[in-house]
């Protein structure tokens, strides 16, 4: 156990170095491998005429940073959701946020083709996330026992199937299925500096909210009654936490599409490493999530070289076995 904690603190304290390593790897490797010297020149003596420099600045670098940001966002929202609902299965992809967002984006692509500037897409994606969350939560409160881990997962799945069913119906009716599917399943290679710039302010707001609320989430994760007994305004805490989740997940889906399992498994690893205090879990989950997705993104280019694998497939590849392990270990227990 102590050795695991040792590795954990090594990971966390070494994270700046590791992230720099991931960014460098992400810039160097791809359909075209670039030599170190070119990258150096591109960063410090940028030459707009040079195609390799263009690749570094306009594609590889934003992609690497984007992957880190999205990983952090998803992991933090997952951690908040799990703490808030005391549900070890809560995660953005299960709770309908991603499906809601994909739903809004499909509608946008069907009814407003052409008007697809990055900012607009982000906006629609956010609206969609809100729809998804509201749908899942209101359904869960309608059903007796709907807030329990298993029922919540099932309700999330039902809502998700419904929303993605409607999206699929619209997409196949207007014959743009594969476009839509590409849009929300395989977008990492389309990352641009503009998208990253759009993401940063949303990310800051979301992360600040998450950090500000983290202490109250710790109390909430002890149970609703204890939390109320300690004089906490639980509804306010839940609203703020949900807001943070919606912002962080919405922006992630808008940037990279549906990426499963990051928000589910990273918080578990984090709790394993740093304990149950959300003041530490939230930032640590962010750091670990960033590293996890950054690494998955690099991996996604090698699984089927020279073709890219959608990053969601890579995270599922790692996530499904972990999820099964989690179930075996916890055996359907009550909460994290």
Interface map 60-89 toward other proteins (x if CB under 8 A): -----------------------------x
Among positions 9, 178, 224, 305, the unique one binding other proteins when judged by CB under 8 A: 178
For CA atoms 53, 58, 63, 68, the dihedral sign is positive
How far is it, in rounded angstroms, from Cα 35 to Cα 50?
A: 14
CA distance 297 to 310: 9
Is residue 266 within 8 A of residue 292, CB to CB? The reply is: yes
Q: What would the two tokens of residue 208 be?
A: 């600040």
Nearest to 258 by CA among 327, 328, 181: 181
Indicate whether 153 belongs to the interface with other proteins (CB under 8 A).
Answer: yes
- Each residue 294-313 as x (binds other proteins by CB under 8 A) or -, in order, gives -------------x-xx-xx
C-alpha pair distances (Å), 225 with each of 126, 233, 264: 32, 11, 25
Q: Which is nearer to other proteins, 144 or 231 (CB)?
A: 144
Within 13 A of 157's CA, how many CA atoms are on the CB side?
8
Distance CA 260, CA 150 (A): 18
- Nearest residue (CB) to other proteins, 64 versus 140: 140
Q: Pick one of 260, 281, 285, 291: the residue that binds other proteins (CB under 8 A).
A: 260
Contact between 111 and other proteins (CB under 8 A)? no
Among the listed residues 1, 4, 51, 142, the single contact to other proteins using CB under 8 A: 142
Task: Point out which residues bind other proteins (CB under 8 A).
Answer: 89, 94, 139, 142-144, 150-151, 153-155, 157-159, 161-162, 165-166, 168-169, 171-173, 175, 177-178, 181-182, 185-186, 260-261, 307, 309-310, 312-313, 316-317, 319-320, 323-324, 327-328, 331-332
């Amino acid at each position: 156990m102590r050795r695991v904690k040792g590795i954990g603190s090594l990971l966390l304290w070494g994270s700046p170095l590791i992230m720099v390593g991931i960014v460098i790897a992400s810039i160097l490797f791809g359909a075209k491998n670039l030599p170190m010297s070119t990258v150096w020149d591109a960063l410090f003596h940028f030459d707009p005429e040079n195609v390799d420099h263009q690749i570094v600045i306009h594609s590889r670098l934003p992609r690497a940073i984007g992957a880190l940001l999205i990983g952090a966002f998803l992991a933090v929202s997952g951690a908040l959701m799990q703490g808030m609902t005391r549900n070890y299965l809560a995660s953005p992809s299960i709770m309908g946020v991603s499906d809601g967002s994909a739903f809004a984006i499909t509608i946008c692509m069907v009814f407003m083709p052409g008007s697809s500037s990055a900012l607009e897409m982000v906006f629609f994606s956010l609206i969609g996330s809100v729809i998804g969350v509201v749908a899942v939560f209101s359904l869960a409160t309608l059903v007796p026992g709907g807030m329990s881990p298993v029922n919540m997962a099932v309700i999330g799945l039902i809502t998700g199937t419904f929303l993605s069913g409607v999206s699929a119906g619209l997409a196949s009716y207007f014959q743009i299925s594969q476009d839509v599917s590409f849009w929300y399943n395989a977008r990492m290679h389309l990352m641009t500096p503009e998208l990253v710039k759009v993401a940063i302010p949303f990310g800051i707001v979301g992360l600040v909210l998450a950090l500000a609320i983290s202490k109250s989430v710790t109390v909430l994760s002890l149970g609703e009654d204890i939390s109320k007994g300690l004089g906490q305004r639980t509804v306010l805490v839940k609203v703020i936490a949900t807001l943070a989740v919606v912002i962080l997940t919405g922006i992630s889906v808008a940037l990279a599409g549906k990426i499963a399992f990051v928000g589910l498994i990273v918080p578990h690893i984090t709790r394993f490493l740093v304990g149950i205090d959300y003041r530490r879990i939230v930032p640590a989950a962010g750091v670990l999530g960033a590293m996890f997705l950054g690494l998955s993104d690099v991996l996604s280019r090698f699984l089927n070289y020279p073709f890219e694998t959608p990053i969601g497939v890579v995270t599922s590849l790692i996530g499904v076995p972990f999820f099964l392990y989690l179930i075996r270990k916890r055996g359907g227990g009550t909460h994290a």
